[in-house]
């Protein structure tokens, strides 16, 4: 009897990451800035768990859903002005992230960040955590024009890296990341460390569902 054929494992030349909830726990910093904006209107502070639900779809979405007073553009501007004051102390890398990026870099994989986070803040945190040597591209909504789940940010990263979609992997923590990757034709893995519940991630059908970032090293061995 002829042995059953098995599908070949895809060969990736680049791994692209979301930032908040995927590489770093930045929810305390984000919450502090949201509550700074709310305080301008006499609104009580929100807990991290409530703010976390609205992270990952861009600053306009975040402020629209967490601050019912004022205008969204004004609130986003106030948020951006405040955020550098809490960025460092309110953000930390998730377990295994630094070692994973370092080892993937040593294996010759191209890497990048594609996040709805304002790109200036991503650059600052990349420098703070010494991730810059491992990254070939860092993109935010200002670069892409449209926020995720539009595929623009991944398509721009692929163009910068001069790679086809079939040779890239995207790793995120939200359903919106899965939707973005599907729209861009990119393989997507989800890690259970961010904003969305495991059930929601599973229902969105990523190509793999990981419990932690360090799982990536074995899967890409």
> Residue 101 has what pLDDT?
97
What's this model's pTM, rounded to 2 decimal places? 0.91
> Residue 76 has what pLDDT?
95
Give every strand in the sheet of 208-210, ordered side by side: 137-139, 110-114, 14-17, 168-172, 187-191, 208-210
- Total domains present in the chain: 2
Tell me whether strands 24-25 and 92-93 are parallel, antiparallel or unpaired: antiparallel
Percent of the chain with pLDDT over 90: 91
Instruction: Examine the domain organization and report whether 72 and 110 are in the same domain.
Output: no
Q: Is the pLDDT of residue 9 over 80?
A: no
**In the structure, what pLDDT confidence band is assigned to residue 40 with cuts at 50, 70 and 90?**
very high
Instruction: Examine the domain organization and report whether 20 and 32 are in the same domain.
Output: no
Give me 3's structure tokens: 């042995």
> What average pLDDT does this structure show over 89-105?
96
Give the range of the structural domain holding residue 34, as residue numbers without chain letter: 27-85
CA dihedral 66, 68, 71, 72 (to 10 degrees): 20
Q: Is the pLDDT of residue 57 over 50?
A: yes
With respect to residue 201, please indicate whether it lies within any of the assigned structural domains. yes
- Residue 158: closest CA among 144, 177, 174: 144
Q: Is the torsion defined by CA of 176, 182, 183, 184 positive or negative?
A: positive
Distance between CA atoms of residues 108 and 30, nearest Å: 33
Please, are residues 190 and 173 in contact by the beta-carbon 8 Å criterion?
yes
Residue 18 known to be catalytic: yes
> Residue 6 has what pLDDT?
36
Candidate from 9-23, 80-94, 105-119 with smallest mean pLDDT: 9-23
Task: Tell me the per-residue pLDDT of 177-220, one tens digit each, with 9 for 90 and over.
Answer: 999 999 999 999 999 999 899 999 999 999 999 999 999 999 99
> What average pLDDT does this structure show over 39-50?
96
Instruction: Examine the domain organization and report whether 64 and 128 are in the same domain.
Output: no
Task: Tell me the per-residue pLDDT of 83-93, one tens digit each, with 9 for 90 and over.
Answer: 999 999 999 99
> Residue 56 has what pLDDT?
86
> Residue 145 has what pLDDT?
86
**In the structure, what pLDDT confidence band is assigned to residue 11 with cuts at 50, 70 and 90?**
confident
With respect to residue 2, please indicate whether it lies within any of the assigned structural domains. no
> What average pLDDT does this structure show over 56-81?
94
Distance between CA atoms of residues 59 and 29, nearest Å: 13
Tell which of 85, 108, 134 closes a domain.
85
**In the structure, what pLDDT confidence band is assigned to residue 10 with cuts at 50, 70 and 90?**
low
CATH number at residue 54: 1.10.150
> Residue 1 has what pLDDT?
38
Arithmetic mean of pLDDT over the chain: 93
CATH number at residue 123: 3.40.50.1000
Instruction: Examine the domain organization and report whether 182 and 160 are in the same domain.
Output: yes
With respect to residue 1, please indicate whether it lies within any of the assigned structural domains. no
Q: Which of these is catalytic: 18, 20, 152, 196?
A: 18
Tell which of 85, 107, 135 closes a domain.
85
């Amino acid at each position: 009897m002829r042995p059953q054929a098995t599908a070949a494992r895809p060969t990736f030349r680049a791994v692209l990451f979301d930032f908040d909830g995927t590489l770093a726990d930045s929810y305390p910093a984000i919450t502090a800035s949201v509550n700074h904006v709310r305080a301008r209107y006499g609104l009580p502070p929100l807990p991290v768990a409530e703010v976390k639900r609205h992270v990952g779809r861009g600053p306009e979405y975040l402020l629209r859903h967490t601050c019912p007073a004022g205008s969204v553009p004004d609130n986003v501007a106030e948020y951006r002005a405040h955020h550098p004051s809490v960025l460092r102390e309110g953000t930390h890398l998730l377990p295994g992230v630094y070692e994973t990026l370092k080892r993937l870099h040593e294996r010759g994989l191209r890497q990048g960040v594609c996040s709805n986070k304002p790109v200036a803040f991503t650059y600052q945190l990349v420098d703070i955590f010494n991730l810059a040597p491992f990254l070939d591209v860092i993109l935010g909504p200002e670069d892409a024009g449209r926020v995720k789940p539009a595929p623009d940010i991944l398509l721009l990263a692929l163009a910068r890296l001069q790679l086809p979609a079939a040779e890239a992997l995207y790793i995120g923590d939200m359903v919106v990341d899965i939707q973005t990757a599907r729209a861009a034709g990119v393989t997507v893995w989800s890690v259970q460390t961010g904003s969305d519940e495991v059930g929601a991630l599973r229902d969105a059908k990523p190509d793999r569902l990981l419990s932690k970032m360090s799982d990536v090293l074995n899967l890409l061995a």
